[in-house]
Amino acid sequence: MDFNNNSNQQDAINSFQQVRRQTLALTEGLSAEDMVVQSMPDASPLKWHLAHTSWFFEHFLLQPFCENYSQFNDDYSYLFNSYYDAIGPRHARPARGLLTRPPLQDILAYRQHIEQHMAALLQRQLPGVAELLTIGLHHEMQHQELMLTDLLHLLSANPLAPAMQQAPAGQHACEKHAPPLQMLCHEGGLLQIGATDQGFSYDCEKPRHPYHLQPFKLASRPVTNGEWQQFIDDGGYQNPLLWLSDGWHCCQQQQWQAPLYWQQQQQQWLSFTVNGLQPVNLSAPVCHISYYEADAYARWAGKRLPREQEWEVIAAAQPDAMADANFLEQHIWRPTACASQPGFQKLFGDVWEWTQSPYSGYPGFNAAQGELAEYNGKFMANQFVLRGGSCASPRQQLRNSYRNFFHPQQRWQFSGLRLAEDQ
């Protein structure tokens, strides 16, 4: 749904409530203990996500637009601010797992408090609210994906390898074989890159601008687990000639031998998934790899990672690319094998695709003004762009111009790769 084109205030309220319900639904079947623990500094407890996404609406909408609004708890601005330095001091990110208080029941009451006040605010249709509502809903959808990836990392640290959900009956029996990988040509040229003015987009996706691409080839599908196993068997993790210098240092320091969550038992590769520990599906896209690993694999394969502009022009030319994509709404939450069909496959959903493009501003980029200027622009250093979304991404969050970004060593997201090469 395009939140910028709501026909009336009820549409806005329905959109708000739908996103909020989707967030809470991700916690079904979880205990309070599941939602308070933090497994690493990059991840956050689910209880914190529930509170932070409520604080976002409280700070950016309720406080500015509602006269005489009283904060639910004055301490929450300190506890649940994420990275907005202009707003004030905040609790350290690596220590979010220490917040056993306030208890979960208080956080759930906080969410209800925010939802009641937001419903009243949206009834008034005040100028400026619609744009901030749209940002807030897309912000919460980003956190829905983080909730899944953070919980997966947390449960992977449990020696019992507990499942988030049960695997469908006969899941492995019906797995498809991945179609042969093809390198498909594009003639390049002077092309338009970036978001248009229609529909929602973040500031980092603009302005739309001309970009000249040399002729290139892009793989018809992402790299699979089976192909990645060949890289492992060929000594890819032991060959420094395949790696960037920083990547090799990271590989050695972290003792990487396979993607995150892979382990070998009785000469078989298993992977920890939302369904618990499962045999690696050789036909599904490889995921939970860093930029460094993706770059090393591309070099091993005699290819390279795509530029983000190459990915975007291909995706923009595929009008039905999202038709059968595996997003959060499918409730599978693990990559699935490609179907045998011509053309490009799985450009959206299943796995985020690393590109070789550093995350920086486009020509003429202007960050959002005010406190929201910290939303994207402040992260434009030392990170690389990923495209396409994953099996944990809400569908409404994605579009051709969407730019995700992570540090090159990070692996806990559903991140994979698609190969490219020059013609």
Buried b vs exposed e over 169-179: b needs ≥16 C-beta within 10 Å? eeeeeeeeebb
Q: pLDDT for 205-214, tens place per residue?
A: 999 999 999 9
Evaluate whether residue 177 is within a structural domain.
no
Q: Are residues 152 and 69 in the same domain?
A: yes
Tell me which residue range forms the domain holding 127. 5-157
Q: Are residues 232 and 293 in the same domain?
A: yes
420-422 and 216-219 strand pairing: antiparallel
Q: Are residues 262 and 120 in the same domain?
A: no
Q: Are residues 194 and 108 in the same domain?
A: no
Q: Are residues 153 and 225 in the same domain?
A: no
Q: Label residue 3 by pLDDT band (50, 70, 90).
A: very low
% of the chain with per-residue pLDDT over 70: 96
Evaluate whether residue 396 is within a structural domain.
yes
The residue-averaged pLDDT of 67-76 equals: 95
> End of a domain among 142, 157, 172?
157
* CATH code at position 342: 3.90.1580.10
Q: What is the DSSP string of 264-312?
A: EETTEEEEEETTEEEE--TTSBP-S--HHHHHHHHHHTT-BPPPHHHHH
Instruction: Give the C-alpha distances (Å, rounded to integers) separating 181 from 118, 186, 305, 324, 342.
Output: 49, 16, 15, 19, 11
Q: Are residues 189 and 319 in the same domain?
A: yes
Evaluate whether residue 201 is within a structural domain.
yes
The residue-averaged pLDDT of 5-23 equals: 85
Q: Tokens 């990672």 identify what position? A: 305
Q: Are residues 117 and 221 in the same domain?
A: no
Q: Are residues 153 and 187 in the same domain?
A: no
Q: Are residues 80 and 198 in the same domain?
A: no
Evaluate whether residue 171 is within a structural domain.
no
Q: Are residues 323 and 220 in the same domain?
A: yes
Q: pLDDT for 221-270, tens place per residue?
A: 999 999 999 999 999 999 999 999 999 999 999 999 999 999 999 999 99
Q: What is the DSSP string of 97-152?
A: GG---S-HHHHHHHHHHHHHHHHHHHHH--TTHHHHHHHHHHHHHHHHHHHHHHHH
Does this model's pTM top 0.85? yes
Question: For 264, phi and psi rounded to 5 degrees?
Answer: -105, 130
Q: Label residue 329 by pLDDT band (50, 70, 90).
A: very high
% of the chain with per-residue pLDDT over 90: 87
The residue-averaged pLDDT of 263-278 equals: 96
Q: Structural domain tally of the chain? A: 2
Q: Are residues 411 and 326 in the same domain?
A: yes
Instruction: Give residue 178's pLDDT.
Output: 87
Q: pLDDT for 347-356, tens place per residue?
A: 999 999 999 9
The closest alpha carbon to 286, from 213, 343, 229, belongs to 229
pLDDT for 30 beyond 50:
yes
Instruction: Give residue 53's pLDDT.
Output: 98
Q: Are residues 10 and 138 in the same domain?
A: yes
